[in-house]
């Protein structure tokens, strides 16, 4: 049966992939609520902009009046909440925005979702769902030999970003326990793939290499991350919403742990094969034979978590989901996508604030979680 879906942060990286999936794989209607700041771009959704089942609403989720209007006007049956400030370094420089969007914005969504829910018939309440997309970073940092994060791992956030997401997770679960709102919470590992904002880790490496600029890596580059292709994440979110048990938490991982340095070297190797340095006169003139020679180590960030790893056995067993894209294939496709879409990169960066340039060492953290916000997207 066709549903009306409210999806926050749908103009961002993960959100745009989820929007496309829902429109392609279902007959549902999607209302995309996004503030369209620097990291949320309509350029990522040009292919669905004219779809009669798609509607963009430029809304800041911190604005409770506007959030209330969305529920009153569209009366959604499903809510995917991906809106968030999600860049760790930005949270260190300006934590206030993260408190507002990730905590206050989530409160407004929960408050008005509950008001909407309480006005529904019993049958409509049985069908209503609210899915909150979070991050594995709320669990803190793992040692190299520690067991991967599971759904019962105690929270130990270590940055303003992860602390704000942990706070919003607690709010969502409390609205279920106290008020009976039917919710899910998901935690995902590092996402990569097409349409990721040029400030993020994988695009930064690709774009700096192509520009012949140094590729800065924090510390010694040995920090470990688990990598998940964005399309696999979108499939997982759809599976949780469609088949998940209300009130449950699901971890979503790619089962692919790799050090940051190894990932950078893999990207450089792919670029060496697809866009050889020999074709770049400037690099050739400098005697550079491989993009990996552009790697440069920079001072580590404060509180940089050593390792993240996700145990996805619950969603695999209960919902029969598992990642379909290998890192080798997914990374190669991603590099090729950026090679084929320089216009998209230029258009997105034209909308980006002056301090957000793909060359800055500020933008070296892998994408923590998400699509991006009522305020800013990933």
Domain presence at residue 364: no
Above 80 in pLDDT, residue 358? no
Q: Is the model's pLDDT at 369 over the cut of 50? A: no
In a domain, 253, yes or no: yes
3-state SS record for 97-165: HHHHHHHHHHHHHHHHHHHHHHCCCHHHHHHCEEEEEEEHHHHCCCCCCCCCECCCCCCCCCCHHHHHH
Round to whole Å and give the CA distance between 79 and 182: 10
Average pLDDT over residues 243-249: 98
Q: What is the predicted pLDDT for the residue at 43?
A: 87
Q: Which helix (H) or strand (E) holds 81?
A: strand 78-81
pLDDT at 372 (0 to 100): 41
Report the SS3 class of residue 226.
strand
Tell me the C-alpha distance between 358 and 54, whole Å: 31
Q: In this predicted structure, what is the pLDDT of residue 137? A: 93
User: Sign of torsion, CA 134 140 144 148?
Assistant: negative
pLDDT in the model for residue 68: 98
List 77, 136, 199, 365, catalytic entry:
136
pLDDT at 314: 98
Look up 155 and say whether it is catalytic. Answer: no
Q: Is the pLDDT of residue 366 over 80?
A: no
282: in domain: no
- Using pLDDT thresholds of 50, 70 and 90, give the confidence band for residue 367: very low
Higher local confidence (pLDDT), 38 or 348: 348
Q: Based on the residue annotation, tell me whether 136 is a catalytic residue of this protein.
A: yes
**Phi, psi (degrees; rounded to nearest 5) at 248:** -90, 160
Q: Could you tell me if residue 290 is inside a domain?
A: no
| Calpha distance 209→369 (Å, rounded) | 24
155 CB-side CA count, 13 A = 15
The verdict on residue 241 lying in a domain is yes
Evaluate whether residue 222 is within a structural domain. no
Is 223 within the bounds of a domain?
A: no
Asked whether residue 61 carries a pLDDT value surpassing 80, the answer given is yes
* 192 is annotated as an active-site residue: no
Q: List the CATH number of the domain containing 99.
A: 3.40.50.720
Query: Is 136 within the bounds of a domain?
Result: yes
Overall average pLDDT of the 250-268 stretch: 96
pLDDT at 376 over 50: no
Q: What strands lie across the sheet with 257-259, from one edge to the other?
A: 190-192, 224-229, 257-259
Q: Which domain holds residue 133?
A: 4-197+228-257+308-327
Mean predicted confidence (pLDDT) in 324-338: 97
Decide if 59 contacts 374 (C-beta within 8 A): yes
> Which tokens sit at 313?
């056995």
pLDDT higher at 236 or 359: 236
Does residue 300 register a pLDDT over 90? no
Q: Give the model's pLDDT for residue 40.
A: 75
Tell me what pLDDT residue 279 has: 83
Q: What is the rounded average pLDDT of the residues 234-261?
A: 97
Choose the catalytic residue: 57, 85, 89, 137. Answer: 137
Number of domains forming the structure of the chain: 1
Q: Which residue has the higher pLDDT, 377 or 270?
A: 270
Q: What is the pLDDT of residues 22-42, one digit of tens each?
A: 999 999 999 999 998 766 788
pLDDT at 186 over 90: yes
The residue annotated as part of the active site, out of 38, 54, 139, 161, is 161
Does the pLDDT of residue 3 top 50, yes or no?
A: yes
Residue range 125-133: mean pLDDT, rounded: 98
């Amino acid at each position: 049966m066709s549903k009306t879906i409210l999806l926050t942060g749908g103009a961002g990286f993960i959100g745009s992939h989820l929007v496309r999936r829902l429109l392609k794989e279902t007959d549902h209607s999607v209302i995309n609520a996004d503030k369209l700041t620097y990291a949320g771009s309509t350029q990522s959704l040009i292919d669905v902009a004219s779809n009669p089942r798609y509607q963009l609403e430029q809304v800041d989720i911190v604005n409770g009046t506007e959030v209330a209007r969305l529920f009153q006007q569209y009366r959604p049956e499903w809510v995917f909440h991906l809106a968030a400030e999600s860049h760790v370094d930005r949270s260190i420089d300006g934590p206030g925005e993260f408190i507002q969007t990730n905590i206050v914005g989530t409160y407004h969504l929960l408050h008005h979702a509950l008001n909407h829910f309480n006005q529904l018939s019993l049958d409509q309440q049985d069908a209503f769902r609210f899915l909150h997309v979070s991050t594995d970073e709320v669990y803190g940092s793992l040692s190299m030999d520690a067991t991967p994060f599971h759904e019962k791992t105690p929270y130990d956030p270590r940055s303003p970003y992860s602390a704000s997401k942990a706070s919003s997770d607690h709010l969502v679960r409390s609205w279920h326990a106290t008020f009976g709102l039917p919710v899910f919470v998901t935690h995902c590992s590092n996402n990569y793939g097409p349409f990721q904002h040029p400030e993020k880790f994988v695009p930064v490496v690709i774009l700096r290499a192509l520009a012949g600029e140094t590729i800065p890596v924090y510390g010694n580059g040995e920090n470990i991350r688990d990598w998940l292709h964005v399309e696999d994440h979108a499939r997982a979110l759809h599976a949780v919403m469609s088949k998940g048990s209300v009130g449950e938490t699901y971890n979503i991982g790619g089962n692919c742990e790799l050090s940051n340095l190894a990932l950078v070297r893999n990207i450089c190797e792919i670029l060496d094969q697809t866009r050889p340095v020999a074709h770049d006169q400037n690099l050739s003139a400098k005697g550079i034979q491989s993009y990996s020679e552009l790697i440069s180590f920079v001072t580590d960030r404060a509180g940089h978590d050593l390792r993240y790893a996700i145990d996805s056995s619950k969603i695999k067993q209960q919902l029969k989901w598992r990642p379909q894209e290998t890192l080798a294939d997914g990374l190669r496709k991603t590099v090729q996508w950026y090679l084929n879409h320089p216009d998209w990169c230029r258009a997105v960066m034209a909308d980006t604030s002056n301090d957000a340039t793909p060359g800055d060492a500020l933008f070296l953290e892998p994408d923590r979680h998400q699509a991006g916000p009522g305020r800013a997207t990933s």
